[in-house]
Amino acid sequence: MVTASKSVVVRVAVPVPLRKLFDYLWSFERQPEPGTRVRVPFGRRSLVGVVVDIGGSGDDVKLKAVTEILDVEPVFDETLFALLKWSSSYYHHPLGEVMASALPVALRASTGLRPAGGERWRITPAGLVTDADSLSRAPARQKIFNGLHEAGEAGLSRLDLKSVVSAWTKPVAALVEQGLVERFESDFLDHTPFDAEPGPELIDDQLGAIETICDRLGDFSAMLLHGVTGSGKTEVYIGAITRVLERGEQALVLVPEIALTPQLVDRLRSRLGVQVAVLHSGLNDTTRHRMWFAARSGEAQVVLGTRSAIYTPLARPGLIVIDEEHDGSYKQQDGYRYHARDVAVMRARMSKIPIVLGSATPSLESFENCERSRFTRIDLPRRVGSAGLPSVHLIDLSRMPTDQGLSPPLVKAIENRLKRGEQSLIFLNRRGFAPVLICGGCRWQATCERCDSRMTHHRSMGRLRCHHCGVITDVPTNCPACEADALVNVGEGTQRVEEFLQERFDQARIVRLDRDAARGPQALNEALDRIRSGDANIIVGTQMVAKGHDFPGLTLVGIVNADQGLYSIDFRAPEFLLQQIMQVTGRAGRADAPGEVLVQTAHPQDPAFVALASHDYDSFIRLQRGERKAAGFPPFSHLALLRCDSLKTDEPMDFLGWAHQAARQCLDAAKEDAATDYTPANVDLMDPVPSPMQRRAGRHRAQLLVRARERSDLHRFLMDWIYRIEANTRTRRIRWSVDVDPLDLY
Ligand code: ADP
Ligand code: ZN
Ligand code: ZN
């Protein structure tokens, strides 16, 4: 081993919001290694950082020294380390924070790499031939000895031992001393073997898809699996993962939200015949650390997780699957604003493995990547089994009266399902009773005092509530402005529709599924069980019902307010709207009974609804593509959004005004500079504007959009610009952030 000289300097990424590395002296015998966690003094604090580079100006006497080495080996392997550096530069976010967010919470502190709790105890060969009677004078020891005897090779954990004898430590220590029992390190997953369940006989489309994926194992390839709902995409994942496991490799599967797809964990486990390491934000720190370690050591063959699991280390990566790749929850919306799907594609590229992006309604970005031959497209155009796609009918609200938001044909259709003992699903994207409480006398409206938004009336709890900041207030009995007794609820929320349907069909069993009704995984699971068992006749729900659920008894889907979002200022709104409606639509008629979908809209000629009625997502996306291209929006340009918020009214616009000038200076300087490596003329600076929701939770908000045709120009510009903003002392106290590839412009 080479001994490090006293003057070695290491560059450390520290979890602070500064886009730079920090130099420290390295005064240990051991050679520093990139990727190792260290403890370093930082101001008056002591922080855990990661060594990034070795070398630097060693004779700088002012440098402080690394105080502790926390790892015996790097936490991140070379590829993951490279991915983290790429992420930091792509999203212009400090490397220290990016690395911290990639680590389980336990490892952001001094905890060792290997989680505690993997230890077990078992009987030794000497113990096996010892008669338990010889321990009769030490009853606790004897009890434990017998317990371990029964457990055999697998042994017992701390918890198991505790249930045998609550004060177990001394007797176990004595048994170890006698040589009858030994302690050993074990795995973190339960590897008790079980038989995999056989799957359905796959159809040709599915077999073809699996073959395409498997042909590419061992090399980078990005594939878009576009399959209508119920086309058997999950079976394709399972088929491909089976092959990955046969090769002795690991598969990483990302889903938008685990709480909403509890069946997927069971399905993967039972079909693949292996334990699945599950990683999501609902786990406690210890469990998360264990699952992370099991993935890193290669113990877990299949790792299933949400957004942040994209940074899970894998010993032998073989395949990445991103289910519902269009889903917005892959984009982190605060702090380090990365898009897990895009990071995943880069990870697959760096790891030289294939990635499958699956969806019934792919994002325009992925669609465009297929057009440009960056992704390979695989289609599953048919539903498996006898069920065809549901028939979709548009109900023209401009010629139809509604009662509590529901048109007569929709109410009639629900009635028919009730008579036939079939289920109906009524979808609307508003929880609560009514979105607006308004005075019929003076037009006063209930608004949030901390946000520029209206309060939603939640009648069941007798309160008004802001869905943006969570504030709750009492419902006034009379108008606070003119004192008239004339307050009326306008618009429909899930509670109002539920109440109306219950009055109309008093025998019906109705389940409401939204964030108020399904608080926590247990309430959600109970609701899902009631639906799947057929106990519920009518389901009223928000987007919560849209995701991946399989409701076998469902034959009718009613979309109450399809127009919401259609004419929004956000250029992605039509795409999101159609994705959501198509996902909900896909819930109908999965079993043998054909499904019917009724869509209420005041704009039945809108291309989005025409495409919906003919299940023609491709045409819709092509239309959207044309519009985006004409308007110069992504994927035909690249965006970055500088946001600022403050308690002071004018500060955000003042700050952005200054930032705008700074940006101009960057671009002008680049134009003058003959040696510049980008084209500043390709960067469009918009003016600073107040955010669409100008005030939220008491903070004033504003934003500045930057657009460039070429990604490289945008990135080079951002480097200069952010450097300038960060170097300026007046910006230190201001809360600002950069969002590269923003998903919405709010
Ligand atoms: P998707 O993920 O595309 O919505 P799934 O893979 O969940 O579709 O399949 C939908 C349903 O059809 C599931 O219950 C699944 O078990 C079943 N299924 C999938 N493939 C087949 C097949 N080839 N034959 C019969 N049933 C299938
Ligand atoms: Zn009034
Ligand atoms: Zn509010």
CA 658 – ligand 2 centroid, Å: 42
Cα–Cα–Cα angle for 631, 632, 633, rounded to 5 degrees: 95
Token pair listed for 116: 């505690």
With a Cβ cut-off of 6 Å, ligand 1 is lined by: 200-203, 206, 227, 229-235, 384-385, 550
Closest listed residue to residue 115, CA positions, set 51, 185, 182: 185
CA 698 – ligand 1 centroid, Å: 48
Q: How far apart are CA 601 and CA 578, in angstroms?
A: 13
Is it the case that residue 4 has pLDDT exceeding 50? no
Query: Is the domain of 520 the same as that of 602?
Result: yes
Query: Structural domain of residue 696, as residue ranges?
Result: 638-740
CA 467 – ligand 3 centroid, Å: 7
Q: Is 193 domain-assigned?
A: no
Query: Is the domain of 425 the same as that of 328?
Result: no
Flag the least confident range among 56-65, 157-166, 312-321, 536-545.
Answer: 56-65
Closest listed residue to residue 23, CA positions, set 7, 4, 44, 3: 7
Q: Is 12 domain-assigned?
A: yes
The confidence score (pLDDT) of residue 159 equals 80
pLDDT band at 157 (very low <50, low <70, confident <90, very high): confident
Query: Is the domain of 354 the same as that of 217?
Result: yes
The confidence score (pLDDT) of residue 1 equals 41
Query: Is the domain of 242 the same as that of 309?
Result: yes
Q: Counting ligands in written order, which one lies closest to the CA of residue 699?
A: 3
Q: Counting ligands in written order, which one lies closest to the CA of residue 469?
A: 3
Strand runs labelled E in 381-520: 391-396, 423-427, 436-439, 456-458, 463-465, 472-474, 487-490, 510-513
Identify the three-state secondary structure at position 698: coil
Residue nearest to atom 18 of ligand 1 (CA): 232
Q: Is 438 domain-assigned?
A: no
657, 689, 728 from 654: Cα distances, Å = 5, 11, 14
Cα–Cα–Cα angle for 622, 627, 629, rounded to 5 degrees: 90
The confidence score (pLDDT) of residue 57 equals 59
Q: Is 486 domain-assigned?
A: no
Token pair listed for 396: 């023209």
- Residue 458's beta-bridge partner residues? 463
* Ligand 1, atom nearest to 548 Cα: 4
Q: How far apart are CA 380 and CA 203, in angstroms?
A: 10
For residue 280, give the CATH number of its domain. 3.40.50.300
Residue nearest to atom 6 of ligand 1 (CA): 232
Identify the three-state secondary structure at position 350: helix
Query: Is the domain of 626 the same as that of 642?
Result: no
Is it the case that residue 549 has pLDDT exceeding 60? yes
CA 333, 336, 340, 341 dihedral sign is positive
Residue nearest to atom 10 of ligand 1 (CA): 230
Closest listed residue to residue 599, CA positions, set 395, 412, 447: 395
Q: Is 533 domain-assigned?
A: yes
The answer to whether residues 687 and 653 touch, using CB atoms and an 8 Å cutoff, is no
Torsion angle of alpha carbons 548, 550, 556, 562, nearest 10°?
-10
Query: Is the domain of 223 the same as that of 366?
Result: yes
Half-sphere exposure of residue 12, counting CA atoms within 13 Å on the CB side?
A: 30
pLDDT band at 9 (very low <50, low <70, confident <90, very high): very high
Q: How far apart are CA 516 and CA 512, in angstroms?
A: 9
Query: Is the domain of 364 the same as that of 251?
Result: yes
Query: Is the domain of 376 the same as that of 419?
Result: no
Residue nearest to atom 20 of ligand 1 (CA): 232
84, 189, 201, 317, 339 from 278: Cα distances, Å = 22, 10, 28, 16, 20
Amino acid (one-letter) located at 6: K
Token pair listed for 611: 């495409």
Q: Counting ligands in written order, which one lies closest to the CA of residue 321?
A: 1
Mean pLDDT estimate for the chain? 90
Q: How far apart are CA 445 and CA 354, in angstroms?
A: 54
- Quick: pLDDT tens for 364-410: 999 999 999 999 999 999 888 777 788 999 999 988 888 888 999 99
The confidence score (pLDDT) of residue 155 equals 84
Closest listed residue to residue 684, CA positions, set 669, 703, 663, 706: 706
Percent of the chain with pLDDT over 90: 63
Query: Is the domain of 409 the same as that of 507?
Result: yes
Is it the case that residue 156 has pLDDT exceeding 70? yes
CA 379 – ligand 1 centroid, Å: 15
Q: How far apart are CA 434 and CA 454, in angstroms?
A: 10
> Which of 228, 229, 235 most suits a substitution to test ligand 1, by most atoms within 8 Å of the C-beta?
235
Query: Is the domain of 565 the same as that of 692?
Result: no
For the chain, what is the domain count?
Answer: 5
> How distant is the alpha carbon of residue 84 from its chain centre?
18
- In the numeric block, the tokens 């995701």 are attached to 547
15, 38, 266, 274, 673 from 271: Cα distances, Å = 41, 42, 8, 8, 61
Specify the pTM: 0.88
Q: Counting ligands in written order, which one lies closest to the CA of residue 484?
A: 2
Closest listed residue to residue 394, CA positions, set 545, 575, 612: 612
Query: Is the domain of 177 the same as that of 227?
Result: no
Flag the least confident range among 153-167, 331-345, 642-656, 667-681.
Answer: 153-167
- Quick: pLDDT tens for 724-733: 998 887 767 8
The confidence score (pLDDT) of residue 260 equals 63
* Ligand 1, atom nearest to 233 Cα: 3
